Amino acid sequence: MKIAVIGCGYLGAVHAAAMASLGFDTVGVDVDASKVERLGRGEPPFFEPGLPELLRAGVGAGRLRFTTDVAEAAGSDVVFIAVGTPQLPGSDAADLAFVDAAIASLEPHLGAGMLVVGKSTVPVGTAARLAEVVRPTGARLAWNPEFLREGFAVQDTLAPDRLVYGVEPGDDAAVERLDAVYASVLERGTERLVLDFATAELVKVSANAFLATKISFINAMAELAETVGADVTLLADAIGLDARIGRRFLNAGLGFGGGCLPKDIRAFQARASELGHADTLAFLGEVDRINLRRRDRMAALIERELDAVGGDRVAMLGLAFKPDSDDVRDSPALDVCRHLQRAGRSVIGFDPQARETAGRVLPSLEIAGSVADAVRGADVLALGTEWRDFRELDPVEVAQWTQARVVVDGRNTLDAARWSAAGFRVVGLGKPEVQPA
């Protein structure tokens, strides 16, 4: 079976490498020549654990190649659409320009028996519209939403917790073709759901909206906890024991960011409004606002601590929006750095992987080459991304690198007792402060 993947960004590059690892002859197509060149050498243009090995194996075996020529998708049995759907400038709606351009570029190369499969996150109703474009070519359309977590993308592609197929009524051939693609995944007992287009489209955005709501709920509780002196982490432990609620994604702190959750909940709201249901998803506006308030709160806490010690310099540990990624799109940590810079504070940041991407997005930020370099000379330390490197830091050693004796833990993930024993005061979000031992 021959497979093509249109769009070789985060989603497409991982998917193409995964398809090749399953034994398929795979070609990835992207308009960015420099990206194509790097991928062709087996070098991903972003950090994702496990992807370099998968790419090199596919390229080395001759099963995986990359090109800028969409004509090379001709004759493929399955063509996956994996382009981005960013937030439309000046609007909350999703920008479908890349999806539409991908379909338009493919049209001359489609033919009978080919299956076009959308993986991009799109507003409900998009698949039905695109099916009308694809049908005259003799090809068919299906929608197979992705559920990747950055940092776990390879695992989530090759061992997902479910597969969702959105197909037109009675299109058994599309189901059979997708079953052939995912045969090894299905053999492991992975749940497979065959749905209509609209339901398949709603699965992804609904899941993201629910996760965002759960995160913002516990952060709303953190706001109350700070006022009454409660501990939001212990609160989350207690309510998370309820099987109906569960503990996952009940971690209060700096909130969510990245290229999916923020823009997806906004696009979901925008689409609901277009459909005459603005009130139905109005609560997502508050979910968004709670999330953004956590950034303001962390910046305020850092400024308070700087004023208390008569200092001006903060070391931000972590710049990516989440650990195990170099993605700084809508990064809460980077946003806090901006807040502090606007307030006239001196900020130096460090991240194990996102130093280059952060430097491109925020050139005014001073970026250190190591934790030691970042904290040296700082008046306050701050944790913005919960990398294992930071969670496992020896606070006794850190105390030797810096005169700072307060750390603002924006992820509530540091071992406060260890840091306290080393002479630090630990300030969390929604938690009582821990004084130096």
pLDDT digits (tens, 9 = 90+) for 199-208: 999 999 999 9
Whole-number pLDDT of residue 245: 97
Whole-angstrom distance, CA of residue 85 vs CA of residue 124 = 13
Whole-number pLDDT of residue 345: 98
pLDDT tens for 269-318 read 999 999 999 999 999 999 999 999 999 999 999 999 999 999 999 999 99
Whole-number pLDDT of residue 153: 95
Token readout for 315 is: 């070391």
Whole-number pLDDT of residue 270: 97
Residue 360: pLDDT band with limits 50, 70, 90? very high
Instruction: Return the DSSP state at 369.
Output: S
Residue 218: pLDDT band with limits 50, 70, 90? very high
Residue 182: pLDDT band with limits 50, 70, 90? very high
Question: How far is CA 305 from each of CA 231, 309, 326, 378, 408, rounded to the nearest angstrom?
Answer: 20, 6, 28, 12, 9
What average pLDDT does range 376-398 have in this prediction?
98
Contact of 268 with 224, CB cutoff 8 Å: no
Whole-number pLDDT of residue 188: 95
What average pLDDT does range 185-190 have in this prediction?
96
Residue 223: pLDDT band with limits 50, 70, 90? very high
* 260 in catalytic set: yes
Whole-angstrom distance, CA of residue 119 vs CA of residue 230 = 43
Whole-number pLDDT of residue 251: 96
* Residue in the structure block whose two tokens are 């940041």: 349
Whole-angstrom distance, CA of residue 171 vs CA of residue 405 = 64
How far apart, in Å, do the first and last CA atoms of the chain sit? 64
Whole-number pLDDT of residue 108: 96
pLDDT tens for 321-345 read 999 999 999 999 999 999 999 999 9
Whole-number pLDDT of residue 128: 97
For the chain, give the mean pLDDT: 97
What is the b/e burial string over 246-283, where b = at least 16 CB atoms within 10 angstroms of the residue's CB? eeebbbbbbbbbbbbbbbbbbbbbbbbbeeeeeeebee
The values of phi and psi at residue 81, to 5°, are -100, 115
pLDDT tens for 362-374 read 999 999 999 999 9
* Residue in the structure block whose two tokens are 């956590």: 294
Helices (H), 126-231: 126-134, 153-158, 172-181, 183-187, 197-228
Provide the whole-model pTM: 0.94
Annotated catalytic residue within 260, 371, 406, 416: 260
Residue 428: pLDDT band with limits 50, 70, 90? very high
Whole-number pLDDT of residue 364: 97
Whole-number pLDDT of residue 399: 97
Whole-number pLDDT of residue 426: 98
What average pLDDT does range 120-139 have in this prediction?
97
Residues whose CB falls within 8 Å of the CB of residue 170, separated by 6 or more in sequence, listed in order: none
Strand ordering across the sheet containing 406-409: 366-367, 346-350, 313-317, 380-383, 406-409, 425-428
Whole-number pLDDT of residue 275: 97
Name the percent of the chain lying above pLDDT 70: 100
Whole-number pLDDT of residue 181: 98
Residue 243: pLDDT band with limits 50, 70, 90? very high
Token readout for 432 is: 């009582």
Whole-number pLDDT of residue 247: 96
Whole-number pLDDT of residue 155: 95
Whole-number pLDDT of residue 368: 98
